[in-house]
């Protein structure tokens, strides 16, 4: 009984102080807006991003556990057009694209399909060129929710909520200001799939710092993406963003 009364007395005395400490801790966190603007600044700044109208990237993808290796290519322009392909040895090619607000994907194993709803909204965000700088267009609500240590680096945890879809959490280095980790819950044909990306080895690609190494983890799988080259403002090959024939057939069928 005496110990219980002692604890109660301590809580009575310390309660206001603990509450004030919690409020101070929350107030001491930088705003999410300032952290995301800093991310854009340390990776290149306004002028560098606004100068970037097209991008072509090439790299390699490896699934170590499965012994799979492949090549990745990606094209994007400032109007939101996007095309990517992943060629995996022994499996074939997986393609994704966005044109005129229509998102699609196709593979030799599963064929072609059009993305709708939340899945389409995710694809449009992923297709956005200069997304680090244009975050306000993609996430109407952003909030700094705490500090965590990721691979030995203290990071601010920023929750970004899009107009459509699940919130995404970005971890920004407290010292560097760079993106270190991102966690998501993606909507797929197989349901909601939690995943994360670890970003490292930032390099200057055409005036903007981008992670040259991205490790993606989802559904018990781990993929390592290494970006080797990025060409900025190079002409996009004619027809690169055109719909493949089987995708166009699906669109024609919908139109009828």
Q: pTM score, two decimals? A: 0.86
Per-residue pLDDT tens digits of the chain, which is 256 residues long = 444 444 444 444 445 544 444 444 445 899 999 999 999 999 999 999 999 999 999 999 998 777 789 999 999 999 999 999 999 887 789 999 999 999 999 998 889 999 999 999 999 999 999 999 999 999 999 999 999 999 999 999 999 999 999 999 999 999 999 999 999 998 887 778 899 999 999 999 999 999 999 999 987 889 999 999 999 999 999 999 999 999 999 999 998 8
Domains of the chain by start residue, with CATH: 32-255 (2.50.20.10)
Assign 3-class secondary structure to the chain: CHHHHHHHHHHHHHHHHHHHHHHHHHHHCCCHHHHHHHHHHHCCCHHHHHHCCEEEEEEEEEECCCCEEEEEEEEEECCCCEEEEEEECCCEEEEEEEECCEEEEEECCCEEEEECHHHHHHHHHHCCCCCCCCHHHHCCEEEEEEEEEECCEEEEEEEEECCCCCCEEEEEECCCCCEEEEEEEEEECCEEEEEEEEEEEEEEECCEEEEEEEEEEECCEEEEEEEEEEEECCCCCCCCCCCCHHHHHHHHHHHC
């Amino acid at each position: 009984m005496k110990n219980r009364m002692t604890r109660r007395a301590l809580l009575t005395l310390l309660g206001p102080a603990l509450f004030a400490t919690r409020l101070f801790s929350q107030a001491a966190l930088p705003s999410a807006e300032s952290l995301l603007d800093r991310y854009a600044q340390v990776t290149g700044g306004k002028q560098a991003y606004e100068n970037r109208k097209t991008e072509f990237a090439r790299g390699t993808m490896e699934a170590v556990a499965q012994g799979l290796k492949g090549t990745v290519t990606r094209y994007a322009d400032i109007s939101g057009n996007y095309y990517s392909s992943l060629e995996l040895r022994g499996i074939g090619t997986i393609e994704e694209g966005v044109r005129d607000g229509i998102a699609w994907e196709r593979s030799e194993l599963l064929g072609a399909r059009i993305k709708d709803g939340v899945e389409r909204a995710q694809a449009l965000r992923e297709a956005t060129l200069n997304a680090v700088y244009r975050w306000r267009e993609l996430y109407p609500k952003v909030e700094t929710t705490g500090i965590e240590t990721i691979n030995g680096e203290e990071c601010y945890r920023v929750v970004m909520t899009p107009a459509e879809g699940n919130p995404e959490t970005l971890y920004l280095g407290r010292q560097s200001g760079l993106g270190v980790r991102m966690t998501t819950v993606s909507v797929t044909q197989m349901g909601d799939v939690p995943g994360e990306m670890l970003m490292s080895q930032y390099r200057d690609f055409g005036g903007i710092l981008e992670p040259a190494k991205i490790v993606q983890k989802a559904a018990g799988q781990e993929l390592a993406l290494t970006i080797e080259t990025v060409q900025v403002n190079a002409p996009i090959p004619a027809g690169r963003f055109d719909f493949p024939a089987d995708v166009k057939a699906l669109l024609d069928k919908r139109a009828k």
